[in-house]
Structures are given as C-alpha cells and as structure tokens.
Amino acid sequence: MMAHLALAIARSAAWQQPDDLAPLRLALRVLARCGVSPAALAAFWECAAFPSDNDYMHRGPMYDRLVQLAREAGYDVAGEYVPCNGWLMCNHYRMTASRAALLERYGIQPGYMTYGDLPAADVFPKRPATVIHRNRTSGFRHAMKPDWGFPRKMRGASGKVITSHVTNVRNLDSQFWRESLEQPHHRCLVPVTSFSEYGPGEKGKRPLFWFDVPSRPIFSFAGIWRMTPAGAVFAFVTTEPNEIVRPVHPKAMPVILHDEDEARWLAAPTAEALDMIAPYPSQLMSVEQATQTGEKRGGGEKDDEGRLDL
C-alpha cells in the first residue's frame, strides 16, 4: 500500500511540481524502506519519469534528478534509463518442429497455415516466428508469421528518435500492452522447443543455458500480437522465475502455458487469462549448459532489444 502511494506521489510531483524535489525524495525513501526491489523501481521510473501520455522517453533534467534521488535513497542506479538496465531475458529461443508437427500439435487445418516455408529455427528479436491465434469470426486456429517485438518510439541518448522493439511483456498494467491482453483474439500461443538465458559471470564470458520441457516436445509461451503499419508483431508474457530458472536468470522467465490452458488463453476473459500467468513447475523442466559463452546477437548484453520493463 505504501509503495503504491509513493508511486502516486512521484507521478504527480514529477510533472505538476518538477522543481520541487521533496515529494520525489520522499517517494524514493518510502520505496527503499518498503524493501522495494530494483525491478519495482523500474515501474517507478516509468510512472515518474516517463508518463504514459508522452510519445517519447526523454533523457533530460527530470531523468537526472531521479537518478540523483535514487542514489540518495540507497539504490545502486547506473547512468542509464533504469527499466532498460538488467531486464534483458530470453531474446533467443528455438522452434525446431516440422510444419506437419505444428499442424497436428495445435489442431490447425492445412488451409489455416497460409505461409510457405517455416521461419528459421533460431528465433531472435525483429525476426519472424510462428504463432497461433484464434480467429474471432470462425473460431478456428490460424498460424501466422509475425516479427518478434512490439515497436515503440523512444529518444536515445543523442536525442535522436529511434524505434525499439519490446519482446517481453512484464508490466501487465502498462497501457502499452493492455489493449492486446484484453482482447482474446489478440492473444496467441508461441510454439517453442527450447529457450535460452545467460547466467551470471564476467561480461563476454557469461555461460549460456538452454531450458526445455522434456515431456512436451513443443510447448507454448503465452503471447500477444497486433498489427502495425509494417505488419504483424508479437511478444510474450513473463513472470517470476521458478527454481530451475532463478539461479541462471533471477529477474523473470517466460510464461509457459499448460496444455489445458492453451485454449483458455486464446478465448478467456481478461481476469481469467491473467490468472494463468505464473511460473511453470520447475520439476517439469530441464536445463543444459551450452558450450557457447559470451553475448551474441539476440541473446546478450550487446543487444538492446527487449530491455524495456513494460
């Protein structure tokens, strides 16, 4: 309750009284006293520094004041936009199943997978992947091939407006996601055979781990999709990590749907769908460390995609 009050104070003070630092200082101290994690601090940043009615995210005087106050409150804040710092996760997964296996697994009629060749088995941000959605008119499942990552315009450190592609849905209250989450025909299943995370370690030498579900050769992330002027795009929902993912990636993990929940995810009312967002049972998963280490395209610290805590 106190943390929510602090967020409300911060949002109001940051934009109605930008020269009065006292409310912001108080809000940050309350968050620290409440034991609010750096992850939740990212939500504070979004509320206070970058209001939802602002088209772009600016690094300016307000940003600098918030960094200073956060440090005074005891947070170890890097010199960059906080929600982009440390939230990169699962920006590389695999879908190695055949076309026939996908059609059978998801009960798709051949005429409802209208594209030819499947996307590449290794999936990275801004590249196409297979997702399954339910047509709101016919009720049939359709396979489509959108690009991974919702585009969002933002202003970089140089002041130039750039487009970032946000791959992971973390903040379920963000208006950036709500429209797609609240419309069942904009939810989708993201077929996966394994996904990767980088573990802790020295930059450039971090170990890479691959996770799968041995009893389910193809499993599904809980996804959402929408149309953009450039075509269809998708992202998938994340949640708290379970016991097998947490030692490797303590921030979050993708939401893996149980078989019996897949149809519900595509059709259920919003509240029922949100109840499915939970860590997958760790005892049903396995993990293997890859021989590859370091940060590569699409899966590590050098890739800017998917870092926004939205």
Contacts of 211 (CB under 8 A, 6+ apart): 194, 195, 196, 197, 244, 245, 285, 286, 287
CATH no. for 93-293: 3.90.1680.10
What number is the average pLDDT over the span 262-281?
A: 96
Backbone φ and ψ of 111, nearest 5°: -70, -10
Ranges of CATH 3.90.1680.10 domains, the chain: 93-293
pLDDT digits (tens, 9 = 90+) for 28-56: 667 666 666 555 555 555 444 443 333 23
pLDDT value at position 300?
36
What number is the average pLDDT over the span 14-29?
A: 60
Average pLDDT of the chain is 77
Amino acid (1-letter code) at residue 55: D
Q: What is the DSSP string of 71-82?
A: HHTT----SS-G
Angle between helices 22-33 and 38-49 (to 10 degrees): 160
How many Å apart are CA 187 and CA 267, to the nearest integer?
A: 8
| Distance (Å) of CA 200 to CA 20, 254, 287, 294 | 39, 18, 15, 11
pLDDT classification of 303: cutoffs 50, 70, 90: very low
Q: Which helix (H) or strand (E) is 7 found in, with range?
A: helix 2-16
pLDDT value at position 305?
38
How many Å apart are CA 227 and CA 146, to the nearest integer?
A: 9
pLDDT at 101 over 80: yes
Q: What percent of the chain has pLDDT over 90?
A: 47
What number is the average pLDDT over the span 219-244?
A: 95
pLDDT value at position 68?
64
pLDDT at 3 over 60: no
pLDDT digits (tens, 9 = 90+) for 160-181: 777 888 899 988 888 888 889 9
pLDDT classification of 22: cutoffs 50, 70, 90: low
What number is the average pLDDT over the span 255-280?
A: 97
pLDDT digits (tens, 9 = 90+) for 136-164: 888 999 999 999 999 987 766 566 777 88
Decide which of 177 and 188 is more confident. 188
pLDDT value at position 216?
97
Q: For residues 25 and 17, is the Cβ–Cβ distance under 8 A?
A: no
